[in-house]
Amino acid sequence: MGGTMKQVVLAAYARGNPKPSDFRIEEAPVPAAGDGEILLRTLYIAVDPLIRFSLDETLLSGASRMELGAVMAGPSVCQVVASNHPGYAPGDFVEGRTPWAEYSAVAPDQPDYRGPPRKLDPSLAPVSAALGALGGPGQTAYEGVVNAARLKAGETIVISAAAGAVGSMAGQIAKALGARAVGIAGGAAKCRALLDLGFDAVADYKATGFADQLKAALPEGADVYFENVGGDVTMAVLPLLKRGARMPVCGFIAYYGMGMEGPGPDRLPGFYRHIMAKGLEIKGFAGIFAGQAGLNAIAGWMKEGRIRFPEAVVEGIEAAPQAFSSVFTGHDHVGKLLVRVAPEA
Ligand SMILES: NC(=O)c1ccc[n+]([C@@H]2O[C@H](COP(=O)([O-])OP(=O)(O)OC[C@H]3O[C@@H](n4cnc5c(N)ncnc54)[C@H](OP(=O)(O)O)[C@@H]3O)[C@@H](O)[C@H]2O)c1
């Protein structure tokens, strides 16, 4: 098809929170689909916090480090424009991990660690849901609530970053399981939105009375703490956990970009004291989770109207750097934050 397109490249390694100026918008030729490849037009990019791990000059571990000048990449929903692969036809919608570019050529038989692009059925749900409720965030929330925390009906779960993509799903899954869900988020508007989503109580970690709000929201303590944040939020939750409480560790966004030691002082002594004295059970989890069980369960709850999929959309690939930066510095959106790169054809 020829012509040029826009793409987002890494201009500087992030120091602390990523800034829009750490990225650059560039023009590049639209790629062609080679043998066995499909040409994808990007519709939505998900600005996921975990991408932050690839943007350090010196990596801690695990994540693959990005070179300066390389095209950013992450979860996206795309539409097939041209196909040299029997499994995909022009017009198909797919979810996968692609460059932050208006177009990309992908070889489904040589997939990255996430596997070949997943085909989507637009009659089941808007295709953007594949980046939220019916995608990684939904699966992650299910993994944490159901498999890592083994949440039961009648128990109380408290969730940090509850207005985010994972947290908003974790709270709704907890409610669908018959548990009581308490959400922690930044700002009164986000807290109100959580109550609208069905959370039983909320606490605003940016308010001066946060610790009191949290105590009032958890009069009998919590059986489960779904950890997304770390730092002061975790320190406020720990005293309110019941004996034997479970703590699935999904993320620790307050520390991203701070290296292995964090800002200090060393809070491990107090943390260990809570773990030991209360017999806390801590379970980390990460990555792509086995099976479709979580997505099937969420799809069922969505059909019954028990789970909604909040998402916020900003327009144009040029908005991606600002949107990604705002995940760490704060924004007013609830649910999955998406960048719409192009409309569906
Ligand atoms: N383990 C896994 O496999 C896996 C998979 C996906 C995501 N995660 C992790 O899950 C967590 C949530 O991800 P997500 O996709 O839901 O992200 P998201 O939709 O972008 O939401 C992130 C939210 O985190 C909150 N936040 C940011 N900095 C904070 C701070 N310093 N203190 C307190 N809250 C802060 C913000 O909400 P407020 O406006 O309320 O502050 C922000 O909206 C992240 O830690 C992420 O890395 C883990």
64 and 159 both lie in a single domain = no
101 and 42 both lie in a single domain = yes
Residue 304, Cβ density class (10 Å: 0-12 exposed, 13-18 middle, ≥19 buried): exposed
Neighbouring C-alpha atoms within 13 Å toward the C-beta of 124: 17
71 and 174 both lie in a single domain = no
Mean pLDDT of 308-329: 94
303 lies in some domain:
no
CATH of the domain at 69: 3.90.180.10
299 lies in some domain:
no
Residue 34 has pLDDT above 80, yes or no: yes
Residue 181 has pLDDT above 80, yes or no: yes
* Ligand 1 atom having least distance to the Cα of 232: 32
For residue 61, what pLDDT band results from cuts at 50, 70 and 90? Answer: low
For residue 226, what pLDDT band results from cuts at 50, 70 and 90? Answer: very high
232 lies in some domain:
yes
DSSP 220: T
For residue 293, what pLDDT band results from cuts at 50, 70 and 90? Answer: confident
Pocket test of ligand 1: the residue of 253, 282, 288, 328 to mutate, having most ligand atoms within 8 Å of its CB, is: 253
Distance from residue 55's CA to the centre of ligand 1 (Å): 17
Mean pLDDT of 300-304: 93
CATH of the domain at 149: 3.40.50.720
345 lies in some domain:
no
Mean pLDDT of 140-163: 97
Q: How many domains does the chain have?
A: 2
292 lies in some domain:
no
Q: What is the pLDDT of residue 331?
A: 83
180 lies in some domain:
yes
Helix pair angle (165-176, 188-197), 10° resolution: 30
142 and 271 both lie in a single domain = yes
Question: Ligand 1 — pocket residues by CB below 6 A?
Answer: 48-50, 136-137, 140, 161, 163-167, 185-186, 190, 205, 228-229, 233, 250-251, 253-254, 285-287, 327-328, 330, 336-337
- Share the mean pLDDT of the chain: 93
Distance from residue 166's CA to the centre of ligand 1 (Å): 7
* Rounded distance between C-alpha atoms, residue 70 and residue 26, angstroms: 11
3-state secondary structure of 332: coil
Distance from residue 298's CA to the centre of ligand 1 (Å): 20
Helix (H) or strand (E) holding 245: strand 241-249
245 and 321 both lie in a single domain = no
Mean pLDDT of 90-113: 92
Q: What is the pLDDT of residue 205?
A: 97
294 lies in some domain:
no
Which range marks the domain in which residue 91 is found? 4-132+309-340
94 and 8 both lie in a single domain = yes
* Rounded distance between C-alpha atoms, residue 54 and residue 285, angstroms: 18
114: tokens are: 């996430």
* Rounded distance between C-alpha atoms, residue 151 and residue 158, angstroms: 11
144 and 128 both lie in a single domain = no
Mean pLDDT of 225-230: 97
121 and 166 both lie in a single domain = no
Q: What is the pLDDT of residue 54?
A: 86
267 and 316 both lie in a single domain = no
103 and 158 both lie in a single domain = no
114 and 128 both lie in a single domain = yes
Q: What is the pLDDT of residues 234-288, one digit of tens each?
A: 999 999 999 999 999 999 999 888 877 788 889 999 999 999 999 999 999 987 6
Mean pLDDT of 311-336: 93
For residue 158, what pLDDT band results from cuts at 50, 70 and 90? Answer: very high
